[in-house]
Structure 1
Amino acid sequence: MAVKTTLNVHRTLVCCLLFVSFEALAGRYGELFRHLRAGNQLFHDIYDTSLRTSTPEERVVTEKLIEMFCRLGVESSNFMDEHSLSGVSQWYRNNLSPKVSSDLPFKDLDEASYELRQLDLQQEDKPWDTEREIEIQGGYGEGEEPPRIGDTLRQWSSRFEALAQLQGTHLSTEAASQLQNLRLRQRFWQMTINAFSSEEALSDPQTFSPFMDMAQGVAAPFTTMNQSTFSLDGDLISGLSFVMSITRDHGIKSQALNLLRKLNRREGIWDSRDVVKMHELIISGECDSEPEECDLWCVREAPAGIPGIIEQLRRR
């Protein structure tokens, strides 16, 4: 890319996402991760160039691309090196949204989606990561700390519900689908916070029921199609897999697995069929470790995405 204009940067990033899509469909995860690294590096390269002074219209496109790379990067980071998200992280840290009243609705669903995605990167106090040392990174003033994840989610939810009320029920098919997916992500975060609030919560089906109810609604159009579907975006398969990994309630675990079995869908790096195989192997006892320990070991060491996890589970 000889001249780093905003348009050229956008074209290159879109090409990266197209290659990611092709490799995801083909199941070539090594190549998929390579294209994600290239996109992440580009955010480093252009941080001080044209995107910093782009027009409002161009910035909307930039933020949507950032959101896509953030989502894919977070999900792929278990299979890549620790710097695989550094470019996207740098962008978010240096482009923090100004503090606003929790009563002020988001301007649209795209803004709500962009803000919610930041939880994946900006929050250092993830409730499930009990051994991680909290490291305050840039973007906050002296003596300031980043807000806790529960506080951030509550403020986001307040602004999101205000927007939903303004929009009413007369939504386009695309907007209604986006709204539903945002509610699914909202319930995922609330479920996660609640699940790790106590030992008892992991065994309580009520911890997971709100998310599972929403997941059933999101999955319904796909399970009735009787054909495979693909989206570069989406939180359905990853959310159901997360439920399978942490819940200690057998009824919820069975419900999540049955829903995954009905799906014939790919979302980013997640293939519902591969996820089903992985969890069936864990449940069957072919892995010597406890389920939670097995999941964590496999994610840390598998070099080739979920198929790599499956292969290692079969060998243990």
Structure 2
Amino acid sequence: MSTTAKPQSGDGPKKPKWTRDSVSKVRTGCVTWLRHFKCDEEKPTCLRCRRDGQVCDGYKFPSQPPRPRHQKAHRLHKPGNSKVTLRTSIQALSVSAAITGSHVEKILFYHAREHTIKAMGSSTSVTRFWYNYVLPLSHSVEAIKHALMALGAAHRSFLWHSSPGIGPADHQSYDSMAIQQYNRAIQHISAVMSDPSPINVQITLVCCLIFICFENMRGQYAEALRHLRAGSRLLSSRQPSALVLSNSATERARSFQELKRDGGDFDQLCDIADMFSRLGLDAHIFVDDEVVPMSEVSFYTRPTHTSDMSRPFASVEAAEEQLLRIERDFDSIMEYPNPSLSDECYDSSSATDCEALARMDEYDRAYQNLRGRFDVWAIHFDLFISDLLKRTPPEQELKQAMVLSLHRKVWSAMFKQGPYFNNELKRTDLEEIIRQAELITLSLPSPAQPMFTFDANLVPPLAFVCAFFEHADLQQRAISLLRSMNRREGIWDSGELARIYEAANVAMESIADADQWVDGSVLRLVTMLSSVGLLEPNTMGAITLLGRSRGC
């Protein structure tokens, strides 16, 4: 994880001082406009927020009660105490406890807690990470507290970028606060990393995940990938050195039980690894590079038992967890060296070509195994959906099931393409994906303000449809849906993807070899389109910089 502080906005050459008309400030207004403009203080939400299309933060404000003299601050790790674990530390904390800090810091923390985290996604696992790990730890770990404040400031700036009536001074103000809090978090996490105890390593990993969200929210994708790569390396380094990893379920279950018996926080590492896996899979599709080595991270996976084929999944979370394992293993086999070799190698007797053929056979077997696992998963999932429709499920469970149904349709289409993706898909396969995505968007909040989520669920499936240029009408439906969503899912921004594929359509009509550009990653497509002037650097600056940093 990078521990380099960012330059403050005042570190560069001085600019002419910008002034605005005098507007009286208020100390009793809503949290949104406090210290910025006069708030009319209308209840329950102020008129200014409603007029500007803002989410009013309301008038509740967390105060800091005085701490009794006899009460000592909770210490996460005492030197020489190896029994202190992340689990026991979190259990000793209270999420409702007041946060310490300045007036402005409390506002940023309040926004992160009440708005940023709530919008991170509908997945149970993601929600559990933020509410069971990040929020409790933010009350006793300075690095996580300031990282969360930085995230709150970045989220406020992210929301205001598309809000009318918000001047550049306000964007600059929140951007400056975000960088200031980020630098303070880096300062504190550097001290934590100097003591590589198990609990400090896990705190570092949690902080790293917040940094990734922070950079993605600001559009600094190259920085986000650096944090993601560094965090996954740190996670992999925590594997027991004497343990030889195996795909055997029996050996994995034995290792799991041994680690639990030794008092390690294996459960917590599994939850953290789940977050890195999600972000790593999203990044791999985008940049066509295994940022997070799935074969190593997959060690932190709870063992499962073979279930009855006639029974549905016990919960939507169980269904999501099993599909994530399939995605993770699929990502690993795609790293086999050049599986789509030409036919000439079959007529060759060289050692290199024989080795390549052996690798192809290994890839084919792994692919067929994964396809079989997906077919079994689909049977259990269909039974789960059938049971779900017979009752009135909670809203979050229903949303999560709708997203999983979308992913099921995408994976079904991908497996129909065959191991080398050379089978043509039927038009109905793509139509099903778009219809499901349109159904999900109807349940989303109004896109008047941009939405940021932790990982990618809706944008990549629509990008999958956009890559099929032979179905122009379906592609246009997908592009229109992307443009209307006003949504950034980790590194995947719906508006940016819409512009990319609109430019790709122009390239397909005017450039002979443009059809080869869409066979690679989104990053490669952006690089090629920018090289011929079909994408302006100022509109795709973050992705272009990402390409340059990776040598594209």
TM-score when normalising by structure 1: 0.79
| 3-state SS of 2:467 partner | helix
1:150 aligns with 2:359: no
Structure 1 residue corresponding to 2:236, chosen from 32, 44, 69: 44
Q: CA deviation digits over 1:141-164, x for unaligned, max 9? A: xxx857533311111112223334
Residues in 2 aligned to 1:58 and 1:105: alpha-carbon distance in whole angstroms = 30
**Can you list the C-alpha shifts for 1:80-125, whole angstroms capped at 9, x where unaligned?**
6956322x42232674644443334333222221211122231337
Question: What does residue 311 of structure 1 align with?
Answer: 530
Q: Is the 1:230–1:265 Cα contact (8 Å) retained in structure 2?
A: yes
Query: In structure 2, how many angstroms separate the alpha carbons of the residues matched to 1:152 and 1:119?
Result: 7
Q: Does the aligned pair in 1 maintain the 2:273–2:300 contact within 8 Å?
A: no
- 3-state SS of paired residue (2:470): coil
Letter in 1 for 2:411: W
CA, structure 1 residues 292+249, in 2 after alignment: closer, same or farther (shift >3 Å)?
same
Higher percent of residues as helix:
1
Work out which of the residue numbers 378, 383, 388 in structure 2 matches 1:162.
383
**8 Å Cα contact 1:33-1:80 kept in structure 2:** no
8 A contact 1:125–1:148 mirrored in 2: no
Q: 1:102 touches 1:155 (CA, 8 Å); kept in 2? A: yes
Match of 1:296 among 512, 519, 522: 519
- In the alignment, structure 2 segments of 5+ residues that lack a partner are 1-192, 242-254, 342-358, 536-552
Tell me, yes or no, if structure 1 residue 66 matches structure 2 residue 289. Answer: no
Q: What pairs up with 1:7-26 in 2 under 5 angstroms?
A: 7-26=199-218
Q: How far 1:192 sits from its partner (Å)?
A: 1.8
Contact 2:517–2:528 under 8 Å retained in 1: no
3-state SS, counterpart of residue 216 of structure 1: helix
Q: Which amino acid aligns with 2:211?
A: F
Aligned length: 301
Cα pair distance change 1:85/1:295, threshold 3 Å:
same
Larger Rg: 2
1:105–1:232: structure 2 CA closer, same or farther, 3 Å change rule?
same
* Greater length-normalized contact order (CA 8 Å, ≥ 6 residues apart): 1
Instruction: State percent identity of aligned pairs.
Output: 22
User: Secondary structure of 2:313's match?
Assistant: coil
Deviations 1:240-296 (Å, cap 9, x if unpaired)?
111111352122111111111111000111001110111011101277354541123
CA contact (8 A) 2:212 2:227 kept: yes
The code of the aligned residue for 1:248 comes to: E
The unaligned stretches of length 5 or more in structure 1 are: 138-143
The residue number in structure 2 matching 1:32 is: 224
Which residue of 1 is the match for residue 542 of structure 2? none
The Cα shift of 1:22 comes to: 1.0
2:427 corresponds to which of 205, 215, 236:
205
Structure 1 residues 81, 161: closer, same or farther in 2, change over 3 A?
Answer: closer
CA contact (8 A) 2:285 2:521 kept: no
Q: SS in structure 2 opposite 1:31?
A: helix
> Which one-letter code corresponds to 1:175 in the other structure?
E
Q: Which moved more, 1:39-48 or 1:69-78?
A: 69-78
Q: Which residue of 2 aligns with 1:53?
A: 259
Within a 5 Å distance, the mapping from 1:88-167 to structure 2 comes to 88-92=294-298, 95=301, 97-123=304-330, 124=333, 131=340, 133-134=359-360, 136=362, 147-167=368-388
* TM-score, L = length of structure 2: 0.48
Q: CA 1:57–1:279 in structure 2 vs 1: closer, same or farther (change >3 Å)?
A: farther
Structure 2 equivalent of residue 141 of structure 1? none
Matched, 1:215 2:437: yes
Given the alignment, which residue of 254, 270, 281 partners 2:503? 281
Secondary structure at 2:452 match in 1: strand
